[in-house]
């Protein structure tokens, strides 16, 4: 009788061990599935945030873009930097300076978001590369002035993003010809 109880106890123990190991394997698979789901959700959130920010460029900054286009015609894709006299106009006109500041801030925040994986770089590039690179090229003198005024590396992320995107454009013949 004692042997039967001992064998029964061993069988139950081994059965419990088998069930426990099986549960650990299933837990490992579940963790893998959850990790994949979280990664997919993160990627979707990045894309959603990027599209929302692009929509902001198209809607909230439309007044800024229109004002700067009328005043300087600066988004003509050639990226000609603002002249000294145009920079003086920006500095002396509070409304115009506010528009330029808004555009620089928008682009710098976009670049910061991309650098920190909050925004999707490929979507932003496809949608805004021409506008962002032209804006930076046009506004280099203003950015340099702000840096000298503040002693801060104003628009640092904007500058880095523009350099990276210009390199991508240069290395992609299809993209270069499209611009």
Q: What is the pLDDT along the chain (179 residues), one digit of tens a residue?
A: 788 788 888 888 888 888 888 888 888 888 888 888 999 898 999 899 999 989 888 888 888 888 888 888 755 556 788 888 988 998 999 999 999 999 999 999 999 999 999 999 999 999 999 889 989 998 999 999 999 999 999 999 999 999 999 999 988 776 665 55
pTM of the model as a whole: 0.76
Q: For position 178, what pLDDT does the model report?
A: 54
Q: For position 73, what pLDDT does the model report?
A: 73
Instruction: Indicate if the alpha-carbon torsion angle 155, 161, 164, 168 is positive or negative.
Output: negative
Vertex 74 angle, CA 58 and 54, to 5°:
20
Closest by CA position to 155, among listed 171, 135, 130: 135
Q: For position 77, what pLDDT does the model report?
A: 57
CA distance 163 to 157: 10
Contacts with 49 (C-beta within 8 Å, 6 or more apart), sequence order: 113, 118, 119, 120
CA distance 80 to 64: 18
Q: For position 147, what pLDDT does the model report?
A: 95
Q: Tokens 């900054």, residue?
A: 61
**Do 176 and 170 meet the contact criterion of CB atoms below 8 Å apart?**
yes
């Amino acid at each position: 009788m004692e042997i039967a109880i001992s064998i029964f106890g061993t069988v139950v123990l081994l059965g419990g061990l088998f069930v426990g190991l099986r549960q650990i394997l299933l837990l490992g698979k579940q963790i893998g599935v959850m990790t994949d789901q979280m990664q997919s959700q993160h990627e979707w959130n990045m894309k959603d945030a990027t599209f929302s920010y692009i929509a902001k460029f198209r809607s909230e900054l439309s007044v800024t873009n229109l004002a700067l286009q009328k005043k300087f015609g600066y988004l003509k894709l050639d990226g000609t930097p603002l002249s000294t006299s145009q920079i003086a106009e920006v500095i002396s006109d509070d409304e115009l300076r506010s528009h330029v500041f808004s555009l620089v801030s928008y682009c710098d925040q976009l670049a910061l978001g991309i650098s920190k994986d909050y925004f999707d770089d490929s979507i932003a590039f496809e949608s805004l590369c021409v506008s962002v690179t032209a804006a930076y090229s046009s506004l280099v003198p203003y950015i340099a002035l702000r840096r000298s005024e503040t002693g801060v590396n104003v628009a640092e992320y904007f500058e880095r993003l523009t350099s990276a995107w210009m390199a991508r454009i240069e290395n992609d013949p299809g993209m270069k010809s499209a611009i």
